[in-house]
Amino acid sequence: MSPWPYPYWLAHRGAGKHAPENTLAAFRLGAAHGYRAFECDVKLSADGVPFLLHDATLQRTTNGHDLAGERLWDELAQLDAGAWHSPAYTGEPLPRLNEVAAWVQAEGCCLNVEIKPTPGTEAATGAAVATACARLWAGAAVPPLLSSFSEAALQAAQAAAPALPRALLLDALPPDPVARARALGCVAVITQHRLMDGALCTSLHAAGLRALCYTVNDEADVQRLQALGVDGLITDAVDRHPPVEPQRPGR
Ligand code: G3P
Ligand code: MG
């Protein structure tokens, strides 16, 4: 297997349970807990600006509503993405990918950029996010890891920025996950944690693919997955899981 430059522990949505998900406040909180790698969700505004948001719509995590991808960035930039979480975060804005790229690199951290397209914009989002990442991390020692549940987004990312590493996200197991990941030129597969077992982990490693899991919050799940030899865990529980690197062969 090729070298794997990413820390074992990644804070999910930038530590987005204890601070508002996918905001810079969440990244700062994860870093305060010792995290050096983060996962976040990135989509496009109507005018093509990559920014962080999980849902297709705005209402769960901002004071806006309806489809985020139909709003211009100037409109999105006015929204409050923190008050929904708790009063202390009132006024926290939606971040653009370029702000997060600057913060992550200034802190010497790594980023897993989940390409989270507004439905119907899979290829365009994959291409634009990959192009932006290639520019924002040009010359960086560790590139961002691009991931997506959308194979169309990953294909477009591969075409736009072939040198950036990619991971296939799985919330259900296809008949041959190794073949799907290979067809997309991926370096890793990231599964919902209950899908990972010894056979899958072994087959991924045998194919030269890294095996990672989301969203791993309970200690029993951490122990099970570490015993399997997975290569990384994405967690919300940054307060319960200090980001200690396990001893792993092949590093
Ligand atoms: O990238 C791993 C994980 O974030 C995928 O699920 O829905 O939290 O984006 P979701
Ligand atoms: Mg995600």
Is the pLDDT score of 231 beyond 60? yes
Is the pLDDT score of 122 beyond 50? yes
Domain residue extents for the chain: 9-235
Q: Name every residue whose Cβ is closer than 8 Å to that of residue 17 and which is 6 or more positions away in sequence.
A: 236, 237, 238
- Rounded to whole angstroms, the Cα distance separating 249 from 232 reads 13
Q: How far, in Å, from the CA of 114 to the mean position of ligand 1?
A: 7
Task: Name which residue sits closest to atom 4 of ligand 1, judged by CA.
Answer: 12
DSSP 8-state assignment for residue 176: -
Q: Determine the pLDDT at residue 251.
A: 46
Please list the active-site residues: 12, 54
Report pLDDT digits (tens) over 149-202.
999 999 999 999 999 999 999 999 999 999 999 999 999 999 999 999 999 999
Where does the pLDDT of residue 248 fall: very low under 50, low under 70, confident under 90, or very high at 90 and above?
low
Mutate to test the pocket of ligand 1, among 52, 129, 147, 215 (most ligand atoms within 8 A of CB): 215
68: amino acid identity, one letter: A
Q: Which atom of ligand 1 is nearest to the CA of 39?
A: 1
Find the helix or strand (DSSP H, E) in which 26 lies: helix 24-32
Tokens of 201: 């982990």
**pTM as predicted:** 0.97
Task: Name which residue sits closest to atom 7 of ligand 1, judged by CA.
Answer: 54
Rg (CA), the chain: 17
- Rounded to whole angstroms, the Cα distance separating 103 from 92 reads 15
Which homologous superfamily is 9-235 in? Answer: Phosphatidylinositol (PI) phosphodiesterase (3.20.20.190)
Report pLDDT digits (tens) over 206-225.
999 999 999 999 999 999 99
- The whole-chain average pLDDT of the chain stands at 97
DSSP 8-state assignment for residue 140: -
Report pLDDT digits (tens) over 95-116.
999 999 999 999 999 999 999 9
Q: How far, in Å, from the CA of 27 to the mean position of ligand 2?
A: 14
Q: Determine the pLDDT at residue 249.
A: 55
156-194 in b/e burial notation, b at 16+ Cβ within 10 A?
Answer: bbbebbeebbbbbbbeeeeeebbebbeebebbbbbbebe
Where does the pLDDT of residue 22 fall: very low under 50, low under 70, confident under 90, or very high at 90 and above?
very high
Contact 41, 94 (CB under 8 A): no
Where does the pLDDT of residue 117 fall: very low under 50, low under 70, confident under 90, or very high at 90 and above?
very high
- Rounded to whole angstroms, the Cα distance separating 63 from 81 reads 7
Is the pLDDT score of 1 beyond 70? yes
Q: How many residues does the chain have?
A: 251
Tokens of 61: 């995590």
Q: Closest Cα partner for 122 from 42, 235, 23, 182? A: 42
Our CA dihedral for 47, 50, 56, 60, rounded to 10 degrees, sits at -110
Q: For ligand 1, is residue 134 a contact (CB within 6 Å)?
A: no
Where does the pLDDT of residue 140 fall: very low under 50, low under 70, confident under 90, or very high at 90 and above?
very high
Q: How far, in Å, from the CA of 245 to the mean position of ligand 1?
A: 22
Where does the pLDDT of residue 123 fall: very low under 50, low under 70, confident under 90, or very high at 90 and above?
very high
> How many percent of the chain have pLDDT more than 70?
98
Where does the pLDDT of residue 2 fall: very low under 50, low under 70, confident under 90, or very high at 90 and above?
confident
Report pLDDT digits (tens) over 29-59.
999 999 999 999 999 999 999 999 999 999 9
Task: Name which residue sits closest to atom 1 of ligand 1, judged by CA.
Answer: 114
> How many percent of the chain have pLDDT more than 90?
96
Residue with tokens 């040198």: 163
